[in-house]
Amino acid sequence: MTNYSIEVQNLVKFFGRRLIFNDINYSFNSSTVYGISGPNGSGKSTFVKILSCIISPTKGKVVHKADNKIIEEEKLHNHIGFVSPYLFLYDEFTAEENLIHFSKIRGKIFEQEYSNFLLNEFNLLERKNDQIKGYSSGMKQRLKFVFALLHNPEVLIFDEPTSNLDNNGKEKVYEFINKLKKEKLIIIASNEDTDLSYCEKILELEKYKNK
Ligand SMILES: Nc1ncnc2c1ncn2[C@@H]1O[C@H](COP(=O)(O)OP(=O)(O)OP(=O)(O)O)[C@@H](O)[C@H]1O
């Protein structure tokens, strides 16, 4: 198992003159499930986007390490599986075409057997040749988990993981969290109590609002 860590140092984010959070110092490590909590608009999505280097902080640093070796920003997508409302899927492609396309972008071989396994787990196997534009919002959400897990990344970042999911879908997500928590670093941004009940440590963004 790879020992993965994300160090957050003196992290500050402003949008214009609005302070989103100030001076966050925190360390995330493998084999732990972390929660990022706070009410709507508190900065959960902003924080996990900065963690994944999708956007930059106003001040401070985010350092990713695998077995103590720093990972360059351009290579982070190989190490992170992301589920979020802003993840883009190609509507005109089928589910499987989307998965093949993203494997190529990641520079990975498309693992058909594992893909079918995950599609089956998330109840999408029979619909894998349907265009995404015909998917319901819950089906799209399930497909995002297949994307996130397909390249077997060391870090899983789930932003609002259970939105649009029915009870069966939620249970599947929690089952995967339980199955993977020993070997992965899992970060869940949510204001759902049930999602947060799976987290061993919680970073409350409301504590970082003072200048
Ligand atoms: N690109 C942007 N430009 C300006 N302000 C932004 C931008 N993105 C987010 N914000 C603001 O930053 C704050 C935090 O937003 P963010 O989406 O991170 O919160 P959140 O905790 O994830 O909210 P929710 O629970 O509603 O998803 C909000 O006030 C939002 O309006």
Q: Tokens for 162? A: 């259970």
- Is residue 147's pLDDT more than 80? yes
Best residue for ligand 1 mutational test, from 19, 44, 196, 203 (most atoms within 8 Å of Cβ) = 44
Q: Is the pLDDT of residue 117 over 90?
A: yes
Q: For residue 203, what is the enclosing H or E element?
A: strand 201-204
Please tell me the distance between residue 166's alpha carbon and the centre of ligand 1 in angstroms.
26
In the reported structure, the alpha carbon of residue 65 is separated from the centroid of ligand 1 by a whole-number distance in angstroms of 27
State what percent of residues in the chain have pLDDT above 90: 91
Q: Are 187 and 30 in contact (CB under 8 A)?
A: no
Helix, strand counts (H, E) of the chain: 6, 9
What mean pLDDT is reported for the chain?
95
Give the whole-angstrom CA distance, residue 183 versus residue 149.
13
If phi over 0 gives left and psi between -120 and 50 gives alpha, with beta otherwise, what is residue 51?
A: alpha
Q: In whole angstroms, how large is the CA radius of gyration of the chain?
A: 17
pLDDT in tens, 26-41: 999 999 999 999 999 9
Check pocket membership of 58 for ligand 1, CB cut-off 6 A: no
What ipTM is given for this predicted complex? 0.97
The span from the CA of 191 to the CA of 36, in Å, is 8
Rounded distance from Cα 126 to ligand 1 centre (Å): 36
Ligand 1 binding pocket mutation candidate from 46, 52, 86, 158 (most atoms within 8 A of CB): 46
- Reported as a single tens digit per residue, the pLDDT across 46-104 is 999 999 999 999 999 999 999 999 999 999 989 999 999 988 899 999 999 999 998 99
Q: How do 59-66 and 80-83 pair as beta strands?
A: unpaired
Report whether residue 20 contacts ligand 1, using a CB cutoff of 6 Å: yes
Confidence of residue 19 (pLDDT cuts 50, 70, 90): very high
**Closest by CA position to 160, among listed 119, 198, 192:** 192
The answer for residues whose C-beta is within 8 angstroms of residue 29's C-beta and 6 or more apart is 3, 4, 5, 185
> Using a 6 Å cutoff on CB, does residue 124 contact ligand 1?
no
Question: pLDDT class for 165, splitting at 50, 70, 90?
Answer: very high
Measure 108 CA to ligand 1 centroid, in angstroms: 33
Nearest CA to ligand 1 atom 6: 15
